[in-house]
Copies of this chain bind each other. A is one copy, B any other.
Amino acid sequence: MLIVMNQDATSQQIDAVTAAVAALGLRAEPIPGSSRTAIGVLGNQGYVDDATIRNLPGVRETLHVSKPYKLVSRDFHPASTQVRVGPVIIGDGQPPVMMAGPCSIESEAQMLASARIVRDAGATILRGGAFKPRTGPHSFQGLGVEGLKLLRQAGDAVGLPVVTEVMRIGQLEDVCRYADLLQIGARNMQNFDLLKEVGRLRVPVLLKRGMSATIEEFLAAAEYIVAEGNDQLILCERGIRTFETATRNTLDLSVVPLVRQLSHLPIIVDPSHATGRRPLVPVMAQAALVCGAHGLMVEVHHDPAHALCDGAQSLDGPQFARLMGQLAQLTAFLRDQRAAETGAAC
């Protein structure tokens, strides 16, 4: 941390800051400049909470060098982490994982029809929402535990592991009974108690970025889970909130190469929620793979025109099959391109 003093800071003020740093068990190193003094803080092993310093007389601002996360950073853990969901492995060196299925679980027939479409097109994880976070209480809230059973049943019928969202700690037991991968939704990215609880489980977790979370906050939220002992964690970019309203959210694809650089955890992309517009989903899905995403989560419904939720962003069977064909070609292309570059580099 660097503490920047006011131009007219007195030597008494500088001494008081130095003492406050020492009180934290750290060392202060004043750096006199031509117009003002800065004070370097040394000896910390990680992020320094500057609450006792930021407001001392004479302090203009404090600049943080360390980040509020450590265990999820590549600095601390250079090797890439792979996450296993049933027979599927997600991470570096693996083909991109495809998670697909309806936004909401609506009925046995709908879930089974959608699951077949998803499996037949080549996806390897089935998604479906039983507990739905909806802006207002008068919208369809999901089938709950009944939905979890239908999801499991459909997954078993087509031979795919399943992922579903958990919204509260009290649902964890039920969700763990039926699901192979637990999703923490964007609205719960900073539901820290829920993060700690899933960190104590030995079940893989998919953590979606909050709609106004910085990358630093996203990784700090992941740190909550890993700090409790669960490193089977996949990150997911799903669009952020900006002033633009033409798309449901703004898909921030540059987060993918950035997270790959900063963290050892795999990261996937959800182009369906990000854009909220079906015609944009296939093109943004392909762009995500080019950016290095370890997989995708896509909404697929056997009959989007009658979906109870998010029909406007769901692909139907033929659209999804076509996308899967495109993604297979693109994956092969990217693999060859990277192999050629690695070969050329030898």
Chain A residues at the B interface, C-beta cutoff of 8 Å: 2, 4, 7, 20, 29, 31-36, 38, 40, 42-47, 49-52, 54-56, 63, 65, 68-70, 75, 131, 133-141, 167-171, 187-188, 190-194, 196, 211-212, 214-217, 220-221, 223-224, 227, 240-247, 250-258, 261, 274-275, 277-280, 283-284, 286-288, 290-292, 304-312, 314, 322, 326, 329-330, 333, 337, 341
Is B135 in contact with A68, judged by CB distance below 8 angstroms? yes
Residue numbers in B under 8 Å from A243 (CB-CB): 212, 214, 240-243
User: With A and B bound together, what is the CA distance between A309 and B49 in angstroms?
Assistant: 8
With beta carbons under 8 angstroms apart, the residue of B68, B169, B277, B305 that contacts A139 is B68
Is B38 in contact with A34, judged by CB distance below 8 angstroms? no
Nearest residue (CB) in B for A66 is: B35
**Smallest distance from the beta carbon of A156 to chain B beta carbons, Å?**
28
User: With A and B bound together, what is the CA distance between A189 and B246 in angstroms?
Assistant: 19
Residue numbers in B under 8 Å from A310 (CB-CB): 51
Is B304 in contact with A49, judged by CB distance below 8 angstroms? no
**Smallest distance from the beta carbon of A139 to chain B beta carbons, Å?**
6
**Smallest distance from the beta carbon of A59 to chain B beta carbons, Å?**
9
Is B136 in contact with A68, judged by CB distance below 8 angstroms? yes
Residue numbers in B under 8 Å from A34 (CB-CB): 42-45
Can you report 23 residue pairs joining A to B where beta carbons are below 8 Å apart?
A: A4-B65, A34-B43, A46-B138, A47-B139, A49-B140, A51-B309, A54-B312, A68-B138, A137-B227, A168-B193, A168-B194, A188-B191, A214-B245, A215-B244, A240-B244, A241-B243, A242-B243, A242-B252, A243-B243, A250-B254, A283-B292, A287-B288, A290-B330
Not counting A138-B227, A253-B287, A326-B337, a sample of 16 additional A-B residue pairs whose C-beta atoms are within 8 angstroms of each other reads A7-B75, A29-B31, A33-B42, A33-B43, A52-B311, A136-B223, A137-B192, A141-B192, A171-B193, A214-B243, A214-B245, A215-B244, A215-B246, A257-B279, A257-B284, A290-B330
**Smallest distance from the beta carbon of A264 to chain B beta carbons, Å?**
14
Residue numbers in B under 8 Å from A312 (CB-CB): 50-51, 54-55
User: With A and B bound together, what is the CA distance between A214 and B333 in angstroms?
Assistant: 34
Is A212 in contact with B215, judged by CB distance below 8 angstroms? no
Residue numbers in B under 8 Å from A250 (CB-CB): 240, 242, 250, 252, 254
**Smallest distance from the beta carbon of A239 to chain B beta carbons, Å?**
9
User: With A and B bound together, what is the CA distance between A165 and B241 in angstroms?
Assistant: 26
**Smallest distance from the beta carbon of A22 to chain B beta carbons, Å?**
14
**Smallest distance from the beta carbon of A305 to chain B beta carbons, Å?**
6
Is B258 in contact with A247, judged by CB distance below 8 angstroms? yes
With beta carbons under 8 angstroms apart, the residue of B51, B168, B284 that contacts A254 is B284
Is A212 in contact with B212, judged by CB distance below 8 angstroms? yes
User: With A and B bound together, what is the CA distance between A305 and B58 in angstroms?
Assistant: 13
Residue numbers in B under 8 Å from A55 (CB-CB): 278, 304-305, 311-312, 314
Top 7 A-B residue pairs of the complex, sorted by shortest distance between their CB atoms: A68-B136, A212-B212, A187-B190, A168-B193, A54-B312, A287-B287, A136-B220
**Smallest distance from the beta carbon of A62 to chain B beta carbons, Å?**
9
Nearest residue (CB) in B for A29 is: B31
Given known pairs A31-B42, A34-B42, A312-B55, the reply for A139 and B49 (CB within 8 Å) is: yes
With beta carbons under 8 angstroms apart, the residue of B44, B133, B279 that contacts A192 is B133
Is B244 in contact with A135, judged by CB distance below 8 angstroms? no
